[in-house]
Chains A and B, each alone.
Chain A
Amino acid sequence: MTGSSSVQRRIDPVEAVLRTTGIALALGTAYIHSTLGGLLFTLNAVGFATFAVALVAPIGLVVPGRFAEPLRVLVRLGLLGFAAATVAGWIAFGARFDLGYYATAIEVAIVVVMALDLERAVGSPMAVARSVLRLVPSAARPAVRA
C-alpha cells in the first residue's frame, strides 16, 4: 500500500476496530490521569481526551480534501508519540503504584494499536512521513524517499 493510494481508502472493519480500541484506550488513560490531581496530570488527561476526539472528528468536512488524510495520519502519529512520551515520563519520574501500572499498560497498548493502524492505513514509516509532509507547502517540503 502506498501513501498516495491510501488517500482514497475506505475504513475497513479491522481498522474500525483498531480506531475504536485506540479511542477507548485514550479515554481510559485520560480518566485515570484526571483522577490523580495536579496540573501535569490534568493536562495529560486533556491531551489524551483531545486525541480521542480528534480520532473521530470529521476532519474531511472542515479541511480541503488533500489535507484531510495527512491530518488523520498526524492525529494518530500524535497520539502514538504522546502515549510513548507519557510512558517514558512515568519510567523516568513516575510513582510505582497500581494506577501508574494500569495507565502505563494502557499507553503501551495505545502505541501498539496506533502503530498497527498507521501501518494498515498508510504503510511503512517512510510512507507515514510522506503523508504528513503533504501538510507542508511544497516549496518548504524536504525530499523524502523510501
Chain B
Amino acid sequence: MPVATKPLTVRLAVLALTFGLAGCAGANAGDAPSAPTGSPDPAAPRVVARDIAFQPGTVTVRAGAATDLVFDNEDTAPHDIAVLASDGSVLFRGDVFSGAAQRVYRLPVLKAGTYRLVCDVHPNMVGTLVAR
C-alpha cells in the first residue's frame, strides 16, 4: 500500500530526527571537561572500577590544590568517573572507556568537603570523594 506507507515513512523520519536531536542536545552539554594528564603524582589517589563498583568506596584528596586522580577500569564494561557537588552539579567528568585500561586525570581545585563519585554509564556505581 504505497499511498499509506509514504506518510508513515515521513512521520517516522521526523520521529527519528527528533530522537537524534534530543540525544545530541542532551549530550552532557555544559559539563566540566575531562583533563587527562600523562604522569600522575605518585601520591595521587587511585580509584578502581571492578565488578561495577568503585574501590575503594571513599577516596581522600587535598583541598585547595589541583590533584591528580588515577582511574583504573578493571572491568571489560565501559565506565567513567565524575565528581559531583552536593547540589548535583558536575565538577569534573572523565571520558567513558572500557577496561582493562587506566586514565590519569587532573581534578579541579576543590574546597574542603564531601563530593559524590558516579559512573554515568552505571548510575548505581557511586563513591565518595573527601577533600580535606
Contacts and interface: CB of A to CB of B under 8 A. Distances in A.
Contacts of B22: 91
A24 to B, nearest CB: 18
B89 interface: no
B19 A95 contact: no
B99 to A, nearest CB: 10
Interface residues of A, number: 27
A90 B23 contact: yes
Interface string B113-127: 000000111111100
Contact of B26 (A91, A111, A116, A123): A91
Contact of A36 (B12, B15, B28, B121): B121
A1 B16 CA distance: 26
B23 A120 contact: no
Interface stretch (B36-44, B54-62, B72-80): B72-80
B123 A108 contact: no
B30 interface: no
Contact of A104 (B13, B23, B28, B124): B23
Interface residues of B, number: 32
Contacts, number: 75
Contacts of A109: 16
B53 to A, nearest CB: 10
Interface string A78-118: 00000000010011010111110100110011011001100
Nearest to B26: A91
Contacts of B125: 38
Contacts of B12: 111-112, 115-116
A51 B24 CA distance: 28
Contact of B1 (A36, A99, A120): A120
29 contacts: A35-B76, A35-B77, A35-B98, A36-B122, A37-B77, A37-B122, A38-B52, A38-B77, A38-B124, A38-B125, A87-B19, A90-B23, A91-B22, A93-B123, A95-B121, A96-B28, A97-B78, A97-B95, A97-B121, A101-B23, A105-B20, A109-B16, A111-B16, A112-B13, A119-B4, A120-B1, A120-B5, A123-B1, A124-B4
Interface of B: 1, 4-5, 8-9, 12-13, 15-16, 19-20, 22-23, 26-28, 52, 75-78, 80, 95-96, 98, 119-125
